[in-house]
């Protein structure tokens, strides 16, 4: 048997069996990896020293648990942003640093970095993958850029124009329900509950031309219930770190339920796509859709069936399903959160509420029925300012998560080292707290940031401000593709709601709760009072 000389280690020669050799190679590889990792870690620590950091609990815990997804956590972030207005580093345990950027000048570099340099952090998004597949929100690289180009026309204002009627219809149906509930004079309502059903209803009509109104019926449709349940299951998983591993999650009853409900949602979307395709053989897709466009609203599925890339290639059925499901997910809760918080802010500021109402009354004075049309949207400047200020104070998406795949150099020369961190917000634990909320509450950008003041968005007052001071829809290549859709819907819904109802606080102050979107613990309760229809 050959002998292995280990005299250089001060050891006696040992028999060189293949196993021992393998062990030695393995140990050397492991040692090299540990050394490389230690070096990178040390190097990153040195580079991160130029960022301020709040005091740690201790070297082991770092800042773990400092920012919780609660009202208290939101207050801590506000304080941290006030103390470190350019940004700061926090440590999740001993080895995971997080760079929190909260100033437009700093955020600019990361937001405008190409999607390849600062791709999304997929830890959290991977929970959505079985549901949303390779839709825009989750895809990356060439697939994302090809689809983004193909989908942009789906939200062109010519298409959006025709959705305004749908928004009017959905909100009117919700109001009819509110009037029934307020037959005694007023009603206490959880805004999130009512408004998210309404936004789902209108999205379902815009995406699929699906016409069973969910706000009509006492119970939401099976599809809408499924979308709500999937969102709730993902939120719950996000809060239970031991369920982050797919293999574990699939074993739980919730994991199995998630997959069953995903199947239901996919079957619904597939059946609509199949039905549209079935009508093709006789007519040809282009002719059919063009003919349809003349008589009815082109829905999102129609536009996707029509879409072709530069080489004339169409989207597959699977792609269309992923994009449609992504729009349903990305568009309902966010818009509902935006609307719920603007109603809350106007309930707390009756003077602004009254001014908005007057603006809408003046606009619709001689019109019957009282409907908002596309051209009216530009005639509601104060109402738009109120929505924007609410999106600043209560951004529906408080943070976004990206990872640096290369070093990112900030304008002041400091470097965010590659890979070691989340540069824009959500921690690896999936808790959002990123640049959107931080930047919107930064006192060096927004004096008295906790005050609701719509006049900050008076065109006179926005001239000097960086466009990146206000980023509820994010910015750069991966900004929200649905932002005009969302602003249009919010304007229509708010205008018609203030025309028909007075909104008042319901008692206790809500406690903010950042989940997938910014909610309030136990719901966001307000009191609504129907207004008489006569001349005011």
Asked if 345 interacts with ligand HEM (CB under 6 A), we say no
Count how many residues are written for the chain: 536
Q: Which of 330, 425, 434, 514 binds ligand HEM (CB under 6 A)?
A: 330
Q: In b/e form, how buried is each residue of 179-214, taking b as 16+ CB within 10 angstroms?
A: eeebeeebbebbbbebbbbbbbbbbbbbbbbbeebb
Say if CB 143 and CB 336 are below 8 A apart. no
Say if CB 121 and CB 403 are below 8 A apart. yes
Nearer to ligand HEM, 364 or 524 (CB): 524
Say if CB 308 and CB 314 are below 8 A apart. yes
CA-wise closest residue to 482 among 472, 473, 491, 490 = 473
Nearer to ligand HEM, 262 or 518 (CB): 518
Q: Which residues, 269 to 288, sit near ligand HEM by CB under 6 A?
A: none
Residues 302 and 307: their CA atoms lie apart, in Å, by 9
Asked if 486 interacts with ligand HEM (CB under 6 A), we say yes
**CA-angle at 36, arms to 47 and 427, nearest 5°:** 55
Q: Given the rule CB under 6 A, which of 33-41, 51-59, 460-468, 478-486 is the region that contacts ligand HEM?
A: 478-486
Nearer to ligand HEM, 54 or 130 (CB): 130
Asked if 338 interacts with ligand HEM (CB under 6 A), we say yes
Q: How far is the CB of 32 from ligand HEM (least distance, A)?
A: 36
Q: How far is the CB of 447 from ligand HEM (least distance, A)?
A: 24
Nearer to ligand HEM, 330 or 438 (CB): 330
Q: Which of 331, 404, 425, 430 binds ligand HEM (CB under 6 A)?
A: 331
Q: How far is the CB of 224 from ligand HEM (least distance, A)?
A: 15
**DSSP designation for 407:** -
Residue 349 token pair: 């500021």
Q: Which of 390, 397, 427, 439 binds ligand HEM (CB under 6 A)?
A: 397
User: No. of H helices and E strands in the chain?
Assistant: 20, 11
**Residue of closest CB approach to ligand HEM:** 482
CA-wise closest residue to 110 among 439, 416, 471 = 416
CA-wise closest residue to 385 among 459, 276, 334, 495 = 459
H helices of 182-252, where?
Answer: 191-208, 222-238, 246-251
Ligand-binding site membership of 480 (annotated) = yes
Q: Which of 342, 481, 492, 506 binds ligand HEM (CB under 6 A)?
A: 481
The DSSP annotation for 109-157 comes to HHHHS-TTTSPBPHHHHTTTHHHHTT-TTT--HHHHHHHHHHHGGGGSH
Nearer to ligand HEM, 53 or 199 (CB): 199
Q: Given the rule CB under 6 A, which of 64-72, 159-167, 439-447, 477-485 is the region that contacts ligand HEM?
A: 477-485
Asked if 127 interacts with ligand HEM (CB under 6 A), we say no
Q: How far is the CB of 355 from ligand HEM (least distance, A)?
A: 22
31, burial (CB in 10 Å: exposed 0-12, middle 13-18, buried 19+): exposed
Asked if 335 interacts with ligand HEM (CB under 6 A), we say yes
Size of the site for ligand HEM (CB under 6 A): 23
Q: Which of 178, 223, 470, 485 binds ligand HEM (CB under 6 A)?
A: 485
Asked if 472 interacts with ligand HEM (CB under 6 A), we say yes
Asked if 136 interacts with ligand HEM (CB under 6 A), we say yes
Q: How far is the CB of 96 from ligand HEM (least distance, A)?
A: 20
CA-wise closest residue to 52 among 7, 103, 13, 8 = 103
Return the residue matching tokens 């009853």: 253
Asked if 132 interacts with ligand HEM (CB under 6 A), we say no
Pick out the residues of the known binding site for heme: 480
Residues that bind ligand HEM (CB under 6 A): 120, 136-137, 148, 326-327, 330-331, 334-335, 338, 396-397, 400, 472-474, 478, 480-482, 485-486
Pick out the residues of the known binding site: 480
């Amino acid at each position: 048997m050959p002998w292995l000389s280990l005299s250089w280690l001060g050891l006696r020669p040992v028999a060189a069996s293949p196993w021992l050799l393998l062990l030695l190679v393995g140990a050397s590889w492991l040692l090299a990896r540990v050394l490389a990792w230690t070096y990178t870690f040390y190097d990153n620590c040195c580079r991160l020293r130029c960022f301020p950091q709040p005091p740690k609990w201790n070297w082991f815990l770092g800042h773990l648990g400092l920012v919780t997804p609660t009202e208290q956590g939101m207050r801590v972030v506000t304080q941290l942003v006030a103390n470190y207005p350019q940004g700061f580093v926090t440590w999740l345990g001993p080895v995971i640093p997080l760079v929190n950027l909260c100033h437009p000048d700093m955020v600019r570099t990361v937001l405008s970095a190409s999607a390849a340099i600062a791709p999304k952090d997929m830890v959290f998004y991977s929970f959505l993958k079985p549901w949303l597949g390779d839709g825009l929100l989750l895809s990356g690289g060439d697939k994302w850029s090809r689809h983004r180009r193909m989908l942009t026309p789906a939200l062109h204002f010519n298409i959006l124009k025709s959705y305004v009627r749908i928004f009017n219809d959905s909100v009117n149906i919700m109001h009819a329900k509110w009037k029934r509930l307020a037959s005694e004079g007023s009603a206490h309502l959880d805004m999130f509950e009512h408004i998210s059903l309404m936004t789902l209803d209108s999205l379902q009509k815009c995406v699929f031309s699906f016409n069973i109104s969910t706000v009509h019926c006492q119970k939401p449709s099976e599809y809408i219930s499924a979308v709500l349940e999937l969102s709730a299951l993902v939120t719950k998983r996000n809060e239970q770190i031991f369920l982050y591993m797919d293999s574990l999650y699939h074993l739980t009853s919730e994991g199995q339920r998630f997959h069953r409900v995903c199947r239901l949602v996919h079957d619904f979307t597939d059946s609509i796509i199949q039905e549209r395709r079935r009508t093709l053989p006789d007519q040809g897709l282009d002719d059919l859709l063009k003919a349809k466009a003349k008589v009815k609203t082109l829905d999102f599925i129609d536009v996707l069936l029509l879409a072709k890339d530069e080489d004339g290639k169409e989207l597959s059925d699977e792609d269309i399903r992923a994009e449609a499901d992504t729009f349903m997910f990305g568009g309902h809760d966010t818009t509902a959160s935006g609307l719920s918080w603007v109603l809350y802010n106007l309930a707390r500021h009756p003077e602004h509420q009254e001014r908005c109402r007057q603006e809408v009354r003046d606009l619709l004075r001689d019109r019957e029925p009282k409907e908002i049309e596309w051209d009216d949207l530009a005639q509601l400047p104060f109402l738009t300012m109120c929505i924007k200020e609410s999106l600043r104070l209560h951004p529906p998406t408080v943070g976004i998560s990206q990872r640096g795949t290369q070093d990112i150099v900030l304008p002041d020369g400091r470097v965010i080292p590659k890979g070691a961190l989340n540069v824009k917000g959500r921690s690896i634990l999936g808790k959002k707290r990123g640049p959107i909320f931080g930047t919107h509450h930064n006192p060096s950008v927004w004096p008295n940031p906790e005050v609701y003041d719509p006049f900050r968005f008076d065109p006179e007052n926005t001239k000097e401000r960086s466009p990146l001071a206000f980023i509820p829809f994010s910015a750069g290549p991966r900004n929200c593709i649905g932002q005009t859709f969302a602003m249009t819907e919010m304007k229509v819904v708010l205008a018609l709601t203030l025309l028909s109802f007075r909104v008042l606080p319901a008692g206790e102050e809500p406690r903010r709760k950042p989940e997938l979107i910014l909610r309030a613990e136990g719901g966001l309760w307000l009191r609504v009072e129907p207004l008489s229809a006569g001349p005011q």
